[in-house]
Structure 1
Amino acid sequence: MRQFPARIHGLLAPQAPLGVIIRRGPSKQVATILWDRRQDTFQLGQWLKGRIYERRSDLSPDGQYLIYFAMNGHWQSEAQGSWTAISQAPYLKALTLFPKGDCWQGGGLWTGHTRYWLNGCHDEALFNHANKLRRDLKFQPSTYFGAECTGVYYPRLLRDGWQLLEQREIAKWQSQDIFEKPLGHGWRLRKIAHAEVGAPVGKGCYWDEHQLRHPASGTTQNYPDWEWAELDGDRLVWAEHGKLLAGRIHHGGLSQATELFDFNPMQFQPRQAPY
């Protein structure tokens, strides 16, 4: 059986030097890891035997809480097989749990330190142990991008400083949406967000690739293996082949690439949240 590197997606807290890495692999096992972005240290949160939809997830501005959409297929359970949860980052144990019962919609965004928006219809919470957190019933994304992953992911990108430049319909059930973010020294990070049926082997129906572009010189550098990339202060961070890396942008482009952590060796281990 063909082996694939761990699949990595990052969530960065905009007002604190913290992040959460969502690490998937094998396909029905996923872990969350706390990332101290000052020290570049990593602390395991918890594993789930199931799927976390990373593009429908978000980290609170102070990095204290995680909202995520997950599925384990236990449709007769109290969580109904899929659910939106709010947890204390980087753990998965729910403080607030909204059963879903299908994979249509789900997940959400933080609209403040203690307020969150839910993507689509949810019944009342099964339980709520985070009384200071409130559902934001007034917020709606300024643009509707569909009910599934793009309906949360694209508003998150726009909120975090990305610009949507173009939406391309390649064929039936195949599209590419082009986002960019300025990096400094005239360089721009381009994200090509794919949504398609029949994606390449080893990728889901939603997947990203990246480029570094310098419009003034006409230079484009392709990085098709970067599955996630973001600006972190004055450095660029990205995920490639199951590893997290960082580098600096100078006039000549990317330099000083450094491996921060290799997530490939990680294996499932039961772990209790400390709350």
Structure 2
Amino acid sequence: MKALPPCRLFVLLARDAPLGVIFRRGPTKLTQLILWHTDMDTFELGDRHVGNFYPERSDLSPDGKLLIYFAANYTARRRNKGLPDTWTALSKPPWLRPLALWPNFGTYYGGGLFTSNIIVQVNQDPHAHRVSEGSVDQTSWPAGKPPAELDFPYDQLFWDHDDQFFTRMERNGWTAVEPYPSMLGPLNPDATFTELVTGAYEAPELPVHLRSVYSKPRPGSNESLVLLWPHRSAGYYGRSESPSYEVHDSRLKIVTSLSGAIWADWDQRGRLVYVQEGKLFTADLNIPGKFDPKEIADFTPLDKKRVRAPQSAGQW
């Protein structure tokens, strides 16, 4: 039997709750949402979207109860129904049924970020938000008017795929690091181990093939997770080069590469969790320079059973 090609996964973790949303892509134009309970490593299958989906321009509320996402569908059937080709929406994960909907004109804007559980920055095209000076707000409320405490400021920021990704990362504890911080200097093979450990070696400037390097410390340890972000970008799902990750131990001066990982983070329990070849892993870091990977779930097979959204998915 021919092996299934791996799907592509992207994950958003809630900041204040043991929840995450997994975006499973595969085949190309199909994205399914999966709610991940990180305390028990259990999963809830959610809605599917056929078309373009932009998880790097989406965000999860700190309590994990709301998702703001950016999506597109350019089929004639949607246009004939008067629906937008591209839109930003607020929903209850793992469901996509809009509680609030903002139409967009193309992909120049779109998506948003949660400042808190009740403040959602909407990156909205000003022409879509208000067609002309003094015209009616184009926002629609499929679930009725939102709770009074919810606020939706329209920042009209220029957030392309990577810029919004980095903005969210910095909010979640990642720090931009330049030049490249590797203590073993993989980008300069001429440096000796003694030079690196004693600090006599100066790290090289950021290579031209890397746009950015980010680091996130593991709470209560000497370890940091380092992200190497490629320069050529077409969004997370469409990039020509995938990001890569390393674990750095600042005390022992050891770097461990997460070979093949396209997403990684410290979860709410402080575990290293990462995505590789359509699978979700965690790993113990008890032995310096090595880790013991443990598979949490394999999302390669597409569950053909479609899940019906509960009535509560369309209610505030």
2:246 corresponds to 1:211: yes
Kept in 1, the 8 Å contact 2:104–2:124? The answer is no
Deviation, structure 1 residue 251: 5.7
Instruction: Show the counterpart of 2:146.
Output: 131
Instruction: Show the counterpart of 2:194.
Output: none
Deviation, structure 1 residue 221: 2.0
Instruction: Show the counterpart of 1:196.
Output: 232
Task: Give 3-state SS (helix, strand or coil) of 1:92's partner.
Answer: coil
Task: Give 3-state SS (helix, strand or coil) of 2:225's partner.
Answer: strand
- The CA distance in 1 between the partners of 2:105 and 2:227, in whole Å, is 32
Q: Which stretch shows the higher mean deviation, 60-69 or 174-183?
A: 174-183
Kept in 1, the 8 Å contact 2:215–2:226? The answer is yes
Deviation, structure 1 residue 255: 3.3
Kept in 2, the 8 Å contact 1:11–1:19? The answer is yes
How many residues align structurally? 267
Q: Which runs of 5+ in 2 are unaligned?
A: 130-137, 180-204, 312-316
Find the structure with the greater CA-based Rg: 2
Instruction: Show the counterpart of 1:105.
Output: 109
Higher normalized strand content (fraction of residues) = 1
Q: Which runs of 5+ in 1 are unaligned?
A: none
Deviation, structure 1 residue 270: 4.2
Counterpart amino acid of residue 15 in structure 1: D
Higher normalized helix content (fraction of residues) = 2
Counterpart amino acid of residue 106 in structure 2: D
TM-score (norm 2): 0.75
Instruction: Show the counterpart of 1:264.
Output: 300
Once the two structures are superposed, what CA deviation does each residue of 1:12-44 show, in whole Å capped at 9, x if it has no partner?
111111111011111100000010111101110
What RMSD in Å do the two structures reach over aligned CA positions?
A: 2.8
- The CA distance in 2 between the partners of 1:22 and 1:72, in whole Å, is 17
Provide runs of 4+ in structure 1 moved above 6 Å.
Answer: none
TM-score (norm 1): 0.86
Counterparts of 1:117-196 in structure 2, within 5 Å, are: 117-121=121-125, 122-123=128-129, 124-129=138-143, 131-132=146-147, 134-137=150-153, 146-166=158-178, 175-183=210-218, 184-196=220-232
Q: 1:269 to 1:99 in 2, by over 3 A?
A: farther
- Which residue of 87, 91, 94 maps to 1:87? 91
Q: 1:162 to 1:91 in 2, by over 3 A?
A: same
Instruction: Show the counterpart of 2:185.
Output: none
Instruction: Show the counterpart of 1:11.
Output: 12
Kept in 1, the 8 Å contact 2:58–2:112? The answer is yes
How high is the sequence identity, in percent, across the aligned residues? 30
- Which residue of 255, 258, 261 maps to 2:291? 255
Q: 1:24 to 1:195 in 2, by over 3 A?
A: farther
